[in-house]
Amino acid sequence: MRCLGLMSGTSADGVDAVLADFRGSPTHPQWELIRHVHSPYPEDLRHRVVSAGQGESGCAEQWLDLAEAITEAQAKAARSCDPSGEAVLIGCHGQTVWHRPPTSRQRGASWQLLQAPLLAQLLERPVVHDFRAADLALGGQGAPLVPRADAALLGGTTGWRALLNLGGIANLTLIPPCCGPERDAPVQGWDCGPANSLIDLAVQQFSNGTLHFDRGGTMAKAGQSDETSIRGWLKEPYFQSPPPKSTGRELFGRANLQQRLNNLGQGCSNQDAVATLTSFSAAVVAQDLEQLRQRDQIRPLELIVAGGGRHNPVLMDQLQRRCRGLQLSSSQEIGLPVEAREALVFALLAWWHQRNHPANAPSITGARREAVLGVVVNPG
């Protein structure tokens, strides 16, 4: 069955679209990635999405206009990836503008902007959307949803396998071995913390909006990281909390960036600040892997990296330096383009919905039970 996956993440740089074919068992599907397209957001839309993710208020008309613009951007990406309409089903994540994990005092909630009925009409095909709601209703985090799909798509090896996505937020998937005493262990996964979110915001601020990210790690390469500040930041409650946990721009946005820049002080150059934030993103992942080793005695054999941060050589060098003894590789090396992974996952989640197959993992999100995720909308 050919499905189209649409994903626009925390980086808010545009929509990734993947056309894929799925066959066989939902648990261990045979799959083929047919085509991947990245469709950038127009500059004005990108600015509006990032502002919404910082909690900036707007009137009802502005929110309606934003939802419609996001939907039209999703449709444009879908047409670019699947111009002849091969996909019979579309899985669309929508654009997260606010994510609230559950606490002891308040239930969790998550808001992905999308006009799914409009998208179904524009593309003249069924659309599965609102993937997080069922897990949240069951007391889960509603995120991350990628790890269970990772395990189905990539499978295990002779040891634990770690996949790291470096988007706006860094998130980890731990896939158990395919053999031995741990073969029946549950897949694990969580949001580590900022990957590109703070780096991108800093670069935009320092360049007065002329740059959106640190291309090639140029600014970070020209600076020196403040290791004392990094050690202090790693002691913050989010980084010391065990999974399940999820996060986004609500925590690691402009206010958080300003707090860290104030902590670095006026004597810190722009280059030093970007170098420190880049090293911090790597240190967060390294600390999580060390906590995993201490907590569960799990040490993965390899760390497969996907997402836009894979193209930042300074971030990759910092990961290699801080994750000692761990073999780093690109998801490209196992046949998965670094920017295509999450869109492929949402194509799979749509197929799983059609097959009535559970897509969340209570061991990851903390939900009370497994659930079929998503709501389907048919064109009229």
pLDDT in tens, 195-212: 999 999 999 999 999 999
Length of the chain: 380
More confident residue, 57 or 228: 228
Phi, psi of 231 (to 5 degrees): -60, -40
**Is residue 380 over pLDDT 90?**
no
Helical residues (DSSP H) of 124-226, grouped into ranges: 133-137, 146-154, 197-206, 218-221
Residue 123 structure tokens: 């593309």
168-200 CB burial, b ≥16 within 10 A, e <16: bbbbbbbbbbeeeeeeebebbbbbbbbbbbbbb
Q: pLDDT (tens digit, 9 = 90+) per residue, 155-171?
A: 888 899 999 999 999 99
Query: What pLDDT, on a 0 to 100 scale, did the predictor assign at position 188?
Result: 96
CB contact at 8 A, 351 and 330: no
> So where are the chain's domains?
2-144+340-377, 146-334
CB contact at 8 A, 329 and 304: yes
CA–CA separation, 348 and 87 (whole Å): 12
**Is residue 54 over pLDDT 90?**
no
Residue 159 structure tokens: 């040891």
Do 2-144+340-377 and 146-334 share a fold?
A: yes
Helical residues (DSSP H) of the chain, grouped into ranges: 43-53, 60-81, 116-123, 133-137, 146-154, 197-206, 218-221, 227-233, 237-240, 254-264, 270-296, 313-322, 341-354, 362-365
**Is residue 338 over pLDDT 90?**
no
Phi, psi of 128 (to 5 degrees): -100, 130
Query: What pLDDT, on a 0 to 100 scale, did the predictor assign at position 246?
Result: 96
Q: pLDDT (tens digit, 9 = 90+) per residue, 82-130?
A: 999 999 999 999 999 999 999 999 999 999 999 999 999 999 999 999 9
CB contact at 8 A, 242 and 187: no
The radius of gyration computed from the CA coordinates of the chain, to the nearest angstrom, equals: 20
Q: Does domain 146-334 have CATH number 3.30.930.10?
A: no
CATH placement of domain 2-144+340-377: 3.30.420.40
Sign (positive or negative) of CA dihedral 213, 217, 219, 225: positive
> What is the arithmetic mean of pLDDT over 69-75?
98
Residue 250 CB: number of other CB atoms within 10 A? 17
pLDDT confidence of 335, banded at 50, 70, 90? confident
The amino acid at residue 102 is P
